[in-house]
Structure 1
Amino acid sequence: MTVLIETDGLAVDGLDSIVRPTTLRVHAGVPFTILGETGSGKSLLAQAIAGTLPDGLAARGRVRINGRDVLGLSHADKRRHLWGRAIAILPQEPWLALDPTARAAPQVWEGFTRVLKLPRAAARAATGQALRALGLEDAARKLPGQLSGGMAQRVAFVAARAGGAPIVIADEPTKGLDAARRDDAVDLLKSGMGTTGGLLVISHDIAVPKRLGGEVAIMLKGSIIESGPVDQVLSNPRHNYTRRLLAADPAVWPEPAASPVGDRLIEVEGLAKSRGGRTLFRDLSFTLHRGEIIGVVGPSGCGKSSLGDLLLGVIAPDGGTIRRNPSWPALRFQKVWQDPPAAFAPQLTLRTALGDLVRRHGLAWDRIPPLMDRLGLSTALLDRPPGGISGGELQRFSLLRTLLLDPVFLFADEPTSRLDLITQQEIVGLMRDVARETGCGLLLVSHDHALINRVADRVIAIGPQSHLASSRLASPQVASPSLTSGDAA
């Protein structure tokens, strides 16, 4: 069997050894998934293979691509001769992969014209076909900032695959996607690999290797702790961490206990919103109380993020009314962003970003270390820029920054989409505890129906069969909405 990617003693060093010497083989026609928790080093391992490590980090050992030692090449040579041609790289964050000033279709079109050298007409036809394959027809003329996180991820995926490279390295290619879109993306990756191509996937989602098949390696604290065929490793794990990972699946979480709620915080009556000529929802009415958790589910681009932004007053409704409790200032109504890179200045260290918040609002810095400890964040990360840490770590910093402001309402937009199952369980537990202990009303958006059903008191489902589920609590009285959905962001 042909070996397309081969590492021997590959390690990543910074101030210390971040990824310990690792050996792996990716064979033609056999998907290979590296599964592990946030900050385990799995993305850095993939970046060391691809030659895209952040400044300040260095790879040592040996990496062969199609039998060629690529660590011996200069950075410019790697980019010129491998990227887009031998290796297609799909970064973890779509915002780092897409040009914010260019519309979606031209970014895909470039791969067909500059790498495959297709004539203009053929490139336009191929671009349209590639976008349609992932339901992105309406995204073609939009800028990345006009797309939902899930749609931006799919555009980045299509752009990375446009050059037709035989080897694909995909870092968290399904984060932010609902189950149907996730399966579509996984199937597209697998079919594009065929029997002669190579596929290396970095993921925290157990559903990805289960659907891909092939080989899986479990990574923990910079080391691969067990590996082998997917069916063998995930059905009969040898390592205790792998067993913990499987046990953290939201589907096996206990049912939530009923909890009393406080005063009315936000009242919504007859709410309507459209985007791009499509109706997202209409006649939506509900009340969110202090200490209550309402979950919002639905496919990518259906309007889940728009609903939260409406409650925050970031965007205006097309119809209906939103009444917020006037006892609380606007600053206490906060949001955890779906894509944290868009919420942090890329040139500032995290210490500087948090320090600016502390000074601006007269907060105490000594509140930060306990929160970092509770969120599983090392203080060593404070002196790195946002691009120097994993997406999951940055998401936890985003939550930390929001909690410092003692929110009375928190709109959490896909707050766990970058987190492994164990960390997800811990972070969701923290948000639930904050809601119950402080009386913070929580609007929690997720593509994971099992997670929402295990956490939320009520559920708003936006989609073709939309509804607001009956409350598990006796006190709130909720009017059932009539909802419709579309593909707008």
Structure 2
Amino acid sequence: MSLIVEKLRIRGPEGVLVQGASFALAPGEPLVLLGETGSGKSLLAQAVMGTLPPGLRAEGRILLDGRDLLPLPPRERRALWGRRIAMLPQEPWAALDPTMRAEAQVAEVDRLVHRHGAAEARRRAAARLAHLGLQGAGRRYPFQLSGGMNQRVALAATEAAGAALLIADEPTKGLDAALRDTAGALLRAEAEAGRMLLVITHDVALARLLGGQAMVMLSGAVVEAGALPGLLEAPQHDYTRRLVAAEPSRWQDWPRRPPGRAIVEGNGLHKRLGGRELFGGLDMSIGEGEVVAVAGPSGCGKTTLGNLLLGLARPDRGQVRRGAWVAPLGLQKLYQDPVAAFTPHQTLGQGIAELRRRHGLAEDRAAGLLPRLRLQPALLGRRPSEVSGGELQRFGLLRALLLDPALLFADEATSRLDPLTQQEVMALLRECVEERGTALLLVTHETALAEKAAGRVLRLGT
């Protein structure tokens, strides 16, 4: 078994997006693609899979066991999916059926691909979910699970395929450190079992865990390649050095200031979900210019608490009060799964223009934020499915900031961003706190980020 990519170039309406990438992949040794969002990592994987967005085309050669995939018609490419090539996509919403329970979706792979009986397929699915810390989640639908839990369900289904080539696109986004290590160990075991493993990630810690070979990409080009962990311990390219240095554990602490007027207060909050109590008797308030982080493992109720404070859900008991001075649109949310927050058939530019018209916003406000969020104007002509998850998350932040919120609930706002972009986005949020007095409620699984940015850290599920 082998995958050989030779001088792969990907073109789009705006020019060359991936510039002549070449690599060879063999069983037993992972290949990790590292780089910032929009660097071309996911496009390279999509070219291998045969799922490039409309308007993009690949040139060069992609040889799977000596057979060039690029000239094959779409029907023959699709026949390889799940049997020869399996892909864990960047967004779990793109991989899961919203009308099927989690266990059934994993069991379906064993039934249809491996022809196991229904009872055996269910047994295998339950074991895979339990291995990823999802005991009891098999009976729930995707909308009843957190983003990190959905990511693990998608990982279990992809792993069940047992394809010779496994492509994992950002497999640990939204996972806490313990679950990231579990997912990384599972992926590494797939390689050790004799599969070819291609992992796209901005998670430097995951790259260290996986080992094998790595390629660092920037602006569609491979700028550095080598064996792990050596490449990260002694990087040669300036970009790789900056990528490693931008991990949250290396940041300076944000300044702490006393909060202003209370924007939102919750008293005696109780909430149960899926038959278990997430929290009970919880008191919490957030004031102007305050940064509060809610930390804890996936599924512990972090997002639920934020939704209660914003009025997007109701507590079982207790009260939530908003300051009388807060404008109707003064509470805004940056969603954990940006795909679910955008209209799929509308271009990003159309969505921004509609928001401006609806709320009477000046045209130049969005234009001024684009470069600060490292978003190219050409992306405005694309639909949500035609940009990376990190780029879409930054558009979500752009949309929220245009409304000048008193409180921004950032739900895992940086889990889809590489360390450099994460650092820059957090710096922009810090400016909003310092210049506008915006309050920031951070939901995060990353302990270092919470401790560096927040004046208060509320820990759930501990």
CA deviations 1:10-34 (Å, max 9, x no partner) are 1111121100011111121001100
Separation in structure 2 between the aligned mates of residue 247 and residue 38 of structure 1, nearest angstrom: 17
Moved more, 126-135 or 182-191: 126-135
CA deviations 1:409-455 (Å, max 9, x no partner) are 11000000110000000001111110121111110011111011111
Q: Which residue of structure 1 lines up, in the alignment, with residue 442 of structure 2?
A: 444
Moved more, 413-422 or 158-167: 158-167
Q: Percent identity?
A: 51
List aligned pairs for 1:355-370, cutoff 5 A: 355-370=353-368
CA deviations 1:200-244 (Å, max 9, x no partner) are 000001011100011111000001101110122101111000011
Separation in structure 1 between the aligned mates of residue 160 and residue 97 of structure 2, nearest angstrom: 16
Q: Which residue of structure 2 lines up, in the alignment, with residue 156 of structure 1?
A: 154
Whether 2:31 is the aligned partner of 1:32: answer yes
Q: Is the 8 A contact 2:190 2:197 kept in 1?
A: no
Separation in structure 1 between the aligned mates of residue 354 and residue 264 of structure 2, nearest angstrom: 30
CA deviations 1:171-207 (Å, max 9, x no partner) are 0000011111111111111112224211100000101
Amino acid at match of 1:298: G
Q: Is the 8 A contact 2:6 2:60 kept in 1?
A: yes
Amino acid at match of 1:49: V
Amino acid at match of 2:458: I
Superposition RMSD on alpha carbons, in Å?
1.1
Q: Is the 8 A contact 1:92 1:391 kept in 2?
A: yes
List aligned pairs for 1:396-435, cutoff 5 A: 396-435=394-433
Separation in structure 2 between the aligned mates of residue 136 and residue 258 of structure 1, nearest angstrom: 37
Give the alignment partner of residue 248 of structure 2, picking from 239, 247, 250.
250
Q: What is the TM-score with the length of structure 1 in the denominator?
A: 0.92
Separation in structure 1 between the aligned mates of residue 5 and residue 311 of structure 2, nearest angstrom: 51
Aligned to 2:214, the other structure's residue is in SS state strand
Amino acid at match of 1:24: F
Deviation at 1:261, TM superposition (A): 2.6
List aligned pairs for 1:11-26, cutoff 5 A: 11-15=9-13, 16-26=15-25
Deviation at 1:132, TM superposition (A): 1.4
Q: Which residue of structure 2 lines up, in the alignment, with residue 302 of structure 1?
A: 300
Separation in structure 2 between the aligned mates of residue 38 and residue 209 of structure 1, nearest angstrom: 16
Q: Is the 8 A contact 1:166 1:193 kept in 2?
A: no
CA deviations 1:334-375 (Å, max 9, x no partner) are 100000000001111001111111111111221111111110
Aligned to 1:331, the other structure's residue is in SS state coil
Whether 2:59 is the aligned partner of 1:60: answer yes
Separation in structure 2 between the aligned mates of residue 276 and residue 119 of structure 1, nearest angstrom: 29
Whether 2:171 is the aligned partner of 1:181: answer no
CA deviations 1:105-135 (Å, max 9, x no partner) are 2211221111111122211211111111112
Separation in structure 2 between the aligned mates of residue 152 and residue 275 of structure 1, nearest angstrom: 16
Separation in structure 2 between the aligned mates of residue 256 and residue 343 of structure 1, nearest angstrom: 29
Q: Which residue of structure 1 lines up, in the alignment, with residue 74 of structure 2?
A: 75
CA deviations 1:365-421 (Å, max 9, x no partner) are 211111111101000000000000000000000000001111001100000011000
Separation in structure 1 between the aligned mates of residue 353 and residue 101 of structure 2, nearest angstrom: 35
Q: What is the TM-score with the length of structure 2 in the denominator?
A: 0.98
List aligned pairs for 1:465-476, cutoff 5 A: none
Whether 2:189 is the aligned partner of 1:191: answer yes
Aligned to 2:417, the other structure's residue is in SS state coil
Aligned to 1:44, the other structure's residue is in SS state helix
Amino acid at match of 2:74: H
Structure 1 residue runs of 4 or more that deviate by more than 4 Å after TM superposition: none
Whether 2:332 is the aligned partner of 1:334: answer yes
Separation in structure 2 between the aligned mates of residue 371 and residue 255 of structure 1, nearest angstrom: 25
Amino acid at match of 2:216: I
Separation in structure 2 between the aligned mates of residue 153 and residue 196 of structure 1, nearest angstrom: 24
Q: Which residue of structure 2 lines up, in the alignment, with residue 468 of structure 1?
A: none
Separation in structure 2 between the aligned mates of residue 312 and residue 293 of structure 1, nearest angstrom: 16
CA deviations 1:30-74 (Å, max 9, x no partner) are 011000001000000111111111111111100111222111211
Q: Which residue of structure 1 lines up, in the alignment, with residue 223 of structure 2?
A: 225
Q: Which residue of structure 2 lines up, in the alignment, with residue 289 of structure 1?
A: 287
Whether 2:78 is the aligned partner of 1:86: answer no
Separation in structure 1 between the aligned mates of residue 328 and residue 2 of structure 2, nearest angstrom: 54
Aligned to 2:305, the other structure's residue is in SS state helix
Extract unaligned runs of 5+ from structure 1.
465-489
Aligned to 1:131, the other structure's residue is in SS state helix
Give the alignment partner of residue 264 of structure 2, picking from 240, 263, 266.
266
Q: Which residue of structure 2 lines up, in the alignment, with residue 485 of structure 1?
A: none
Count of residue pairs brought into register by the alignment: 461
Separation in structure 2 between the aligned mates of residue 185 and residue 404 of structure 1, nearest angstrom: 37
Aligned to 1:101, the other structure's residue is in SS state coil
